[in-house]
Structure formats: C-alpha cells, structure tokens
C-alpha cells in the first residue's frame, strides 16, 4: 500500500527554466528539462502531499496529482510561489535566469540593413529560493539545489548559508548530468553531508520525498 506519510502537508515545487523576454518573439533562458523538479513534485504527491508545481516552459509531461501553475519569467515564478503560500515544504528545482532584459521591447526589434546589433541592458532577477527562505511566511522546510562541477560540497555548504535554506541538494554535474536521466547528489543539511550514489532522477525524487517525510514526522 502507498505510504501517506505526507498527507495534510502542502509542498511547493519549482521546476524548469525561466524565459526572460527580449521582445515579443525573443527570450533569454537557462537550460533545464524540468525532469528533476517534475519528478520531485510527483514523488511528494505519491506520499500524499498536496503539491503546487510552479513550472517554467518545459516539454516533459504534467505530473499526475499536482496543481500546475505555468509561468515564463522569474518574476512570474516568484509571484506564483508567493501566491501558493503557506506551504510546509518548498523544493526549488527551477533553473531561474539570474538576469532579465531591463526593458523588454513591446514590439519586435527590427534588424535594419546595415544597422548594428542591439545592446541589451540587463537587470537582476529576484532569487526565489533566498526570498522564500527569508519570507514572513517561510515554509517550514526550504530546499534548494546547487549544480556544481568542482568542490561540490564546499560550494553547497556556502550556498546553504547564503540562501538561508535548510537543505541543499548538491548535484555533481562534472559528468553528463544536464538533461540526462541520472544525478549524483550530496545532501547538505545543518547536521552534515549525506553522499547518495548516482541514481536516476526519479529515484532521487523518491529518496528526497522519503527523507522529507521522515524529517517532518
Ligand atoms: O545561486 P544558484 O542559481 O546557484 O542557486 C541555485 C538554487 O537557487 C536552486 O535551488 C534554484 O532553484 C534557486 N534559485 C532561485 N532563484 C534564482 C536563482 C536560483 O530560486 N533567481
């Protein structure tokens, strides 16, 4: 029988990239499939949690049993997250663009013959993980990701402090993880570091959901 260990809990999950408009037809984005975030949303729902999944544009199928809020930009993602509060659990798996174009054009930019390429002025996007970690209605357990290629744990420990979240899932991406189906995770908490063996993204999601359920029990 399926465990209902997270019944009565509300989990907020972000997934996918954000798209930051340049003009109505062009955008800047991060590379992200949404596979890991969507798998986490599904795994939390499978343990009985009510799940709000805030996702940027992705090609992966909608996970079953979750409320899906589709967004494009980082600012829309933050607004959708804040609108979903209160939550018991927040897992921020989205690859949020750090910058947006300061003033996106309302009309398509024209390439006039002989004219120079446009110069884009960028503005800083909000950090959704850091904002939720310091929010007046902070979720009880806030979890972020760190994709690192070197000194993975060291960087994740620093990131956990900087962002103010409870856990960081440090993903060693020195291999070919991006867009692939397996992740190698080091779970960084206030108590230390757990090294997980390399496993498929669905297994990472299931193990994380179980770990969350044990912690909240
Ligand atoms: O700072 P960095 O992008 O490496 O941090 C990654 C973590 O922070 C991920 O959990 C990501 O979802 C989250 N993040 C965020 N908003 C941003 C940038 C990152 O929520 N603007």
**CA–CA distance, 47 with 174 (Å, rounded to integer):** 32
Q: What is the pLDDT of residues 138-172, one digit of tens each?
A: 999 999 999 888 999 999 999 999 999 999 999 98
ipTM: 0.97
Query: For 34-55, how does the pLDDT look when each residue is reduced to its tens digit (9 = 90+)?
Result: 999 999 999 999 999 999 999 9
Structure tokens of 43? 């795994």
With bands split at pLDDT 50, 70 and 90, how would you rate the model's confidence at 1? Answer: very low
Ligand 1 residue neighbourhood (C-beta within 6 Å): 14, 74, 92-94, 96, 98, 125, 127-129, 144-146
Please state, in angstroms and rounded to a whole number, the distance separating the CA atoms of residues 110 and 101: 17
Q: Yes or no: say if 35 and 181 are a contact pair by the CB < 8 Å rule.
A: yes
The pLDDT confidence band at residue 178, using thresholds 50, 70 and 90, is low
Which ligand 1 atom is the nearest neighbour of the CA of 98? 21
Binding-site sequence positions for CTP: 98, 108, 126-129, 145, 159, 163
pTM, two decimal places: 0.95
Strand partners, 217: none
């Amino acid at each position: 029988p399926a465990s209902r260990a997270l019944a009565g809990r509300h989990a907020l999950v972000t997934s996918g990239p954000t798209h930051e408009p340049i003009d109505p037809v062009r955008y800047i984005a991060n590379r992200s499939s949404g596979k890991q975030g969507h798998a986490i949303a599904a795994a939390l729902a499978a343990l009985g949690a009510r799940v709000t999944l805030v996702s940027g544009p992705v090609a992966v199928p909608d996970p079953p049993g979750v409320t899906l809020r589709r967004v494009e930009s980082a600012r829309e993602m933050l607004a959708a997250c804040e609108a979903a509060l209160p939550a018991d659990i927040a897992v921020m798996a989205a690859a949020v663009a750090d910058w947006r174009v300061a003033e996106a054009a309302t009309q398509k930019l024209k390439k006039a013959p002989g004219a120079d390429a446009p110069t884009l002025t960028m503005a800083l996007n909000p950090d959704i993980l850091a904002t939720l970690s310091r929010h007046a209605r902070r979720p009880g357990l806030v979890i972020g990701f760190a994709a690192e290629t070197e000194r993975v744990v060291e960087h994740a420990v620093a990131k956990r402090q900087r962002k103010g979240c409870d856990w960081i899932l440090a993903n060693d991406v020195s291999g070919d993880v991006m867009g692939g189906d397996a992740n190698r995770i080091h779970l960084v908490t206030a108590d230390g570091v757990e090294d997980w063996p390399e496993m498929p993204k669905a297994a990472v999601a299931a193990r994380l959901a179980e770990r969350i359920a044990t912690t909240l029990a």
